[in-house]
Structure 1
């Protein structure tokens, strides 16, 4: 589809929601509940976006929670053979596809559109490595082996033709899908995916399967695109992913636009200056105030006797030789120090192009030169200023929008699902929390990054300026959904001769609640004599957040050891949400 034929609406600024159809942050992985799906989708709407992006299909051994396998031995799931696959025959996990059905049906009902990448280049969810292993080929041969490609294309056909068990709509006709991406960050041998593989897949989607959604090349933008791919009519557009990358990866991949022009220029100017000074010093040491009697450096270092001294040592030349050796040593040390520092600078990314600069290069190529669609499918793991500059560039461009990596929604067990991205970077949560909390519970030993509130507010601000739906029943509205207060855990003790109880409270939150009010009442006023104001619910805590890892305690209330009842209520800057049901602590 050409750029001129595209119907442009407001740009989308939002979040990737990789867990929306399969939660990788649980052990073992689980499919999300209807509450979790709706919480994720409504959170996206509350942040002002109507587009989000899930992660790929999970591929691998049937012992894992995967969508596609070649060995359906796990009886915990129902497996369906995929037509057109052979040697090996591949099978689809019906339970996991039903979970995807639920996501698309809910998205359609709520007015959210989903970007669906088909396969991952990396092995996080099995991806190309697992698919290749099933076919006993290398990861590079995934793209070149005709039989492996044929089996993968059969999987794509199975997915596109699937009838949603909830909505009854075939995936290829479902308006809840915004776009199909051929994959996530696809590459081969540290370079581009073969054009023939990409165009064969996009022609299958667009021309054979007649999908009604955009078809996007999911190749890794880091490597650029072949002209054949850029010109291919069955490809509607392209996506850019922007992350800080290790220097060894930049050097190995020879990506010219991944290193800052300014940093490169400075590097070569300093290198050239050192080189020129070294040549000049060797030819004419006298310019460096060294008495050399017109000798070059080599002649000077080989001579310590003057012509007029009848074979006696010329002390001036001896002194000059010592100075020359000292300067040579300094130059050698300078070279070593400079190259060592330069390597460190490159390694730390100080010479790399900002995300905005990389985006502008990609955007101008794709949108201005080839008249195709373009959006930022992922960005993250960098500084707030990098994000600000990138979003400003996207906002000023003809790109469709940008999605930050990544959002995790409320957990069925209370609190939120969390994901540690490494390097101290955490997943984001809505509506955004000014906390930095970590809990040590196995894989859930992740928390809330100290940049969360700033990044979330930044994304919301760009969404608000790009036509975020003011008429939505969720946008800029009070929290949605009744919180569920779980039965509390109670421990009792004697303190100063009085029996006290420690009541640990956890609840499943309301979507969009920034904090909660906790109310308490004595359950049975006849047990003890109590003040009249404790017979009814009164607010005993406010400003309590549910920003904890899944299932963790949010509040411990110390009370007299008598039965108390509790209820909670969420609120945000737009009002109060509904109350939870009442629970009693004995």
Structure 2
């Protein structure tokens, strides 16, 4: 754990981690700092200004209420923005050059969220694959896939996305290449992917909810973290050693410096909130509880233990990071909201997940939760799904009607894959993850209807109407394609694709000054005409199937280009790709 103790007569040790302290005072050297003020009025003012510039950040560190008062006056945000721009390279400046709202933190006032004095509410998606991909095979996520997913969220009117908790070694689905590799051991490559996610999200004006740990074992959860300390699930919430190890991980996240921007996570407004965990379960007594989704029966913590653990973690978060919201990530499952959740000043949002696993409708569950949280804390439907589009529509309308509900996040969205097609993820009861715009290849989930419902309400909760469709960006043919398997990276909002081909005829001419019998031949290209060989390609099949050009003649060279098509029109063509047709007659 990093010490936050103060040294005499100096700024706090944590000062270098704050952008407005670290590089904001380059114009003031140590000599200037210790020089006594001169008698000249102009020099007095200069010294006073320099002293104020140096003193204000220190006061804000020591006394958060000073920062709050400056922020409300409008002084602190402008100073913070200017100094933050000074600290970054030109590449990072473009990251921070979005709208001013993206440089401000969302704040809570009683049971509402606000951004720059205006209500902040959202309807959007959970996207589990944004920082590591579990589908097909466990692997790192690419920048292109992060951009595709977040562009989808943006296109649908979403302002927020919730990712899945950090993966832990030993989970059921992930093997050993995880975010948490051992006690105090963290996978730098995977966290750099999270760095990049925050950069992309900022550019697209989307805020991210980050849960710390999972109750379940899919990616590694409470049980796997406890095993790092040779302990079991039941020890996680009460063992001082495990709790200290967990806080070490939490502090690692808070104090992590983004490798692309140089900004600490705790100072990044792109992060909407920290969530204590995902579906952290408990009971009202210490009765052993068996759950078929876990590898062995376990002893869930009591309500009192869960309250204590959550309160301690929330206090730790607010001490280290007073700017970000804190979401209580326990699974209520229609149970009472505890008194601690309502009264603890360090907890900002109450959350629950709505699935058809109780006898109560979604609307009834929301009404019940509001009977506790209203006038105290905003309520968040952190996940909902596995129901009909009509049920989703009814819940979304109810969310919009009730200002004390901060938002609702549908489970879950999958992006295009960089290798072509979409990622597909099966849930249960014939429900699959969703894809934008919605396709007939995913009929059991009413995908088209669900996408339309979410998009409509995502804009409605912001008092906006759904904008007209736009022409998609050009797709891209994937390197390594052959005439038997032409694959492409899809475009957000594309309904289908059109593929064109052009034959490149190879002719020969003789070098001048040589006889025909002895001349060396040099190649010259003769361009053919573009012809359309498919006007209704889809990338929504499960599994994805690249296009096979059955009419390509072996031995010839062809150029290909592809277009994305939506109801708004056809995109510009992709960059062309040359492919030498092989003699293979069928797909390998």
TM-score normalised per structure 2 = 0.68
- Matched with 1:458 is 453
Uncovered stretches (5+) of structure 1, i.e. residues with no partner: 71-88, 246-257, 259-351, 437-447, 491-502, 528-533
Aligned pair in 2 of structure 1 residues 101, 480: CA closer, same or farther (>3 Å)?
A: same
Selected match of 2:156 from 11, 29, 47: 47
**SS at 1:64 equivalent:** coil
Query: Matches of residues 402-551 of structure 1 in structure 2 within 5 Å?
Result: 402-436=408-442, 449-467=444-462, 476-490=469-483, 503-524=484-505, 535-549=528-542
Aligned pair in 2 of structure 1 residues 157, 450: CA closer, same or farther (>3 Å)?
A: closer
Aligned pair in 2 of structure 1 residues 150, 54: CA closer, same or farther (>3 Å)?
A: same
What RMSD, in angstroms, separates the aligned Cα atoms of the two structures? 2.5
For residues 397-437 of structure 1, what are the alpha-carbon distances to aligned partners after superposition, in whole Å with 9 as ceiling and x for unaligned? 1211111111111111111111111221111112222223x
Equivalent-residue separation in structure 2 for 1:536 and 1:485 (angstroms):
22
**SS at 1:559 equivalent:** coil
How much has 1:449 moved relative to structure 2? 4.6
**SS at 2:381 equivalent:** strand
Are the aligned partners of 2:485 and 2:546 in contact in 1 as well (CA < 8 Å)? yes
Aligned pair in 2 of structure 1 residues 365, 225: CA closer, same or farther (>3 Å)?
A: closer
Query: Matches of residues 3-14 of structure 1 in structure 2 within 5 Å?
Result: 3=110, 6-7=113-114, 8-9=118-119, 11-14=121-124
- Matched with 1:165 is 259
Number of residue pairs matched? Answer: 427
Selected match of 2:401 from 387, 390, 396: 396
For residues 525-572 of structure 1, what are the alpha-carbon distances to aligned partners after superposition, in whole Å with 9 as ceiling and x for unaligned? 979xxxxxx94213332232211357x323333215253432111021
- Matched with 1:316 is none
- Matched with 2:64 is none
Query: Matches of residues 3-42 of structure 1 in structure 2 within 5 Å?
Result: 3=110, 6-7=113-114, 8-9=118-119, 11-27=121-137, 29-42=138-151
Are the aligned partners of 2:441 and 2:541 in contact in 1 as well (CA < 8 Å)? no
Selected match of 2:329 from 215, 218, 241: 218
Query: Matches of residues 30-429 of structure 1 in structure 2 within 5 Å?
Result: 30-61=139-170, 64-70=176-182, 89-188=183-282, 189=299, 192=303, 194-206=306-318, 208-222=319-333, 223-245=335-357, 258=358, 352-368=359-375, 371-398=376-403, 399-429=405-435
Equivalent-residue separation in structure 1 for 2:464 and 2:253 (angstroms):
31
Equivalent-residue separation in structure 1 for 2:176 and 2:321 (angstroms):
32
Point out the structure with max Rg over C-alpha. Answer: 1
Are the aligned partners of 1:516 and 1:570 in contact in 2 as well (CA < 8 Å)? yes
Are the aligned partners of 2:111 and 2:378 in contact in 1 as well (CA < 8 Å)? no
Equivalent-residue separation in structure 1 for 2:502 and 2:210 (angstroms):
49
Aligned pair in 2 of structure 1 residues 435, 468: CA closer, same or farther (>3 Å)?
A: farther
Aligned pair in 2 of structure 1 residues 386, 470: CA closer, same or farther (>3 Å)?
A: closer
Aligned pair in 2 of structure 1 residues 581, 200: CA closer, same or farther (>3 Å)?
A: same
Equivalent-residue separation in structure 1 for 2:200 and 2:220 (angstroms):
26
Aligned pair in 2 of structure 1 residues 19, 468: CA closer, same or farther (>3 Å)?
A: farther
**SS at 2:551 equivalent:** strand
Equivalent-residue separation in structure 2 for 1:181 and 1:127 (angstroms):
14
How much has 1:90 moved relative to structure 2? 2.2
TM-score normalised per structure 1 = 0.68
Equivalent-residue separation in structure 1 for 2:475 and 2:349 (angstroms):
41
Are the aligned partners of 1:525 and 1:535 in contact in 2 as well (CA < 8 Å)? no
Question: Do residues 559 (structure 1) and 551 (structure 2) align?
Answer: yes
For residues 7-44 of structure 1, what are the alpha-carbon distances to aligned partners after superposition, in whole Å with 9 as ceiling and x for unaligned? 253531111111000101142x2121111111111111
Equivalent-residue separation in structure 2 for 1:468 and 1:581 (angstroms):
39
How much has 1:239 moved relative to structure 2? 1.4
Equivalent-residue separation in structure 1 for 2:559 and 2:176 (angstroms):
42
- Matched with 1:312 is none
Are the aligned partners of 1:566 and 1:582 in contact in 2 as well (CA < 8 Å)? yes
How much has 1:137 moved relative to structure 2? 2.7
For residues 95-136 of structure 1, what are the alpha-carbon distances to aligned partners after superposition, in whole Å with 9 as ceiling and x for unaligned? 111111110111112211001011000001111010112223
**SS at 1:69 equivalent:** strand
Equivalent-residue separation in structure 2 for 1:418 and 1:175 (angstroms):
31
Are the aligned partners of 1:483 and 1:578 in contact in 2 as well (CA < 8 Å)? no
How much has 1:468 moved relative to structure 2? 7.6
**SS at 2:196 equivalent:** helix
Which stretch of structure 1 is more off in the superposition, 187-196 or 18-27? 187-196
Are the aligned partners of 1:520 and 1:539 in contact in 2 as well (CA < 8 Å)? yes
Uncovered stretches (5+) of structure 2, i.e. residues with no partner: 1-107, 283-298, 509-526, 582-588
Are the aligned partners of 2:129 and 2:164 in contact in 1 as well (CA < 8 Å)? yes
How much has 1:68 moved relative to structure 2? 1.0
How much has 1:165 moved relative to structure 2? 0.6
**SS at 1:566 equivalent:** strand
How much has 1:224 moved relative to structure 2? 3.5
Aligned pair in 2 of structure 1 residues 397, 150: CA closer, same or farther (>3 Å)?
A: same
- Matched with 2:3 is none
